[in-house]
Structure 1
Amino acid sequence: MSHTSDFPTHWVLTLSCPDRPGIVHAVAGLLAEHGGNITESQQFGDPDSGLFFMRVQVTSTATRTDLVTAIEALAPRFDLRWHLDVAGRPVRTLVMVSTAAHCLNDLAFRQRSEGLPIDLVAAVSNHTVLEPMADFYGVPFHHVPVTKDTKAQAEARLLALVEELDVELVVLARYMQILSDDLCRRLEGKVINIHHSFLPSFKGARPYAQAHARGVKLIGATAHYVTGDLDEGPIIEQDVERVDHSRAVEDLVALGQDVERRALARAVRWHAEHRVLLDGRRTIVFR
């Protein structure tokens, strides 16, 4: 028996599956059968992986239960991997920081003033420097010190917070600690990092000093999903700034921080809007 609500809900459906004819027709038909009006639709077939990716926004008076039941019935026919959510719902987000303030400040400001669809439920830091900033934005602050001997306990505390707060996304906003392989596996596809260089160049310590020493003409930042391979997770967004020989290391750092916050904000927004789909070691981003 089909049920409807009094007012339409704006849904976002994402899916991936082996590429073959008839996928778009079947999905569009299913949505039409449930009174759906498609407001946005994007598709991509990857000739390298043989996978098909799709993102659809649709308004419908059908209930979530009816939509889920219909999609579950269709999924085996195409071997679908799919996700359904309310479009624009703020994603419960935990931000991890150390002492650099620019990324935390930018995300919190955008959430408050620019409609970034996240709900900052916690800030976790191995220092206390940014606690006043978190307090200013009304974000609960958790000081979780990390040493070589306490790393396991610190990560256990992080996982406990993720569970307690029903966290959907973890953002490493210049968190200067390396997550363990086990933690990366447990949070796979749910952790975004901002790396302060244009990967894969200049990994590791002091990337701007490395870039300056090589006389680069472009500096950049890379937002990517975190995996057990350091700074090699699937890339979501990159941004660059042109520089020349007159710039000192300090200039590159200042410019780089601006690039970092821009790239991270776009990556977080696209993830929260369900515009990023994983395709092996890379991403499909429906902007």
Structure 2
Amino acid sequence: MSSTNQQIQQYLTKNEDKTRLLVSCPDQPGIVSSISKFLYEHEANIVESSQYTTDHVEGTFFLRIVFASNNIKDKETMLKRDFQSIADQFDMNWRMSFLHNLKKTAIFASKELHCLRELLYEWESGDLMTDISLVISNHETGRELVESFGIPFHYIPANKDIRNEVEAKQLELLEEYKIDLIVLARYMQILTPKFVATHPSSIINIHHSFLPAFIGASPHKRAYQRGVKLIGATSHYVTDDLDEGPIIEQDVIRVDHRNSVNDLKKKGRLIERSVLARAVKWEIEDRVLVHENKTIVF
């Protein structure tokens, strides 16, 4: 058994009786007490709890709870069924994630591999506790890297003229592997609304922070010519509006007159790697709730 598989098995053993509950609903009295009573009646112990309200008058309430209960695998159906009455009472959007069910992730990549490498290294070290089920790419560049980790690599050439055929193949693979999360690790193709609709709030992208100031080709060169002092990266959920989905994470790094265009590119890649890895980690850990075109990150 590889060290990665050992780490995953240790994680599953340690957390086999834990569940994450995420809730959003109109703010009103009694939400927390009703949930606490529900958990008590189902012999569950709260391990972690975070909450936030957008406005204490007529706002939206958000909650993330991690709870533990013996023999949770036998209680899944009952817990979901019984919680529905509380959800109906408070008009909740909610989901339960049982930690013994490891989320399945697909990574999409193109020629640039820095974000893909980071995700694979984070996964190998046990910091991304997910099943990276496959990598899909429109270039062969990353095959050797991906297969060295024992992960299936699928090469599907893509361009705007064959986009529908390509996405049909991709969706077939995603269904075959029962994918929960899609990560665009510098995948340089635009996804159609039809594709995005199949995985709402389940596709994470990364791009440089020069948008919207430096749209289009050669953003680093034009940013250098403008004399920018900060560069960074943004990771967000993919929506039909290009690069305008709910933001999960951002970060910046300082540059100055001594930095060349290549320096900006190198620093940009460095920040893209870390920002994407954090966003994926938070999504895997059920720390992100989408509200309108924003996110609540616990």
Q: Using structure 2 for the length normalisation, give the TM-score.
A: 0.90
Quick check: 1:36 aligned with 2:44?
yes
Q: Which residue of 1 aligns with 2:64?
A: 55
Give the length in aligned residue pairs. Answer: 280
Quick check: 1:85 aligned with 2:97?
yes
**Cα offset, 1:200, TM superposition:** 4.3
User: Partners of 1:55 and 1:198 in 2: how far apart?
Assistant: 33
CA RMSD of aligned residues (A): 1.7
- What are structure 1's unaligned runs of at least 5 residues? 1-6
Whether the 8 Å contact between 1:126 and 1:146 is mirrored in structure 2 is yes
**Cα offset, 1:52, TM superposition:** 1.0
1:154 aligned to 160, 166, 177, which one? 166
1:46 aligned to 30, 33, 54, which one? 54
User: Partners of 1:45 and 1:139 in 2: how far apart?
Assistant: 41
Q: 1:35 to 1:198 in 2, by over 3 A?
A: farther
**Cα offset, 1:181, TM superposition:** 1.8
**Cα offset, 1:110, TM superposition:** 0.8
Deviations 1:68-121 (A, max 9, x none): 122112111001111111237532011000011111111111111133112111
Q: How does 1:82-231 map to 2 (within 5 A)?
A: 82-87=94-99, 89-197=101-209, 199-231=211-243
Whether the 8 Å contact between 1:95 and 1:123 is mirrored in structure 2 is yes
Whether the 8 Å contact between 2:248 and 2:279 is mirrored in structure 1 is yes
Whether the 8 Å contact between 1:197 and 1:203 is mirrored in structure 2 is no
Q: Which residue of 2 aligns with 1:4?
A: none
User: Partners of 1:8 and 1:172 in 2: how far apart?
Assistant: 29
Whether the 8 Å contact between 1:199 and 1:222 is mirrored in structure 2 is no
**Cα offset, 1:199, TM superposition:** 4.6
Deviations 1:210-256 (A, max 9, x none): 32122111110000000111110000000111111110010011111
Whether the 8 Å contact between 2:159 and 2:189 is mirrored in structure 1 is no
User: Partners of 1:245 and 1:90 in 2: how far apart?
Assistant: 47
**Cα offset, 1:29, TM superposition:** 1.1
Report the AA paired with residue 50 of structure 1: G
Q: Which residue of 1 aligns with 2:297?
A: 285
Same amino acid, percent of matched pairs:
45
User: Partners of 1:239 and 1:28 in 2: how far apart?
Assistant: 36
- What are structure 2's unaligned runs of at least 5 residues? 1-14
**Cα offset, 1:201, TM superposition:** 4.0
Whether the 8 Å contact between 2:210 and 2:219 is mirrored in structure 1 is no
Q: Using structure 1 for the length normalisation, give the TM-score.
A: 0.93
- Give the helix-richer structure, 1 or 2: 2
Report the AA paired with residue 51 of structure 1: T
User: Partners of 2:164 and 2:199 in 1: how far apart?
Assistant: 15
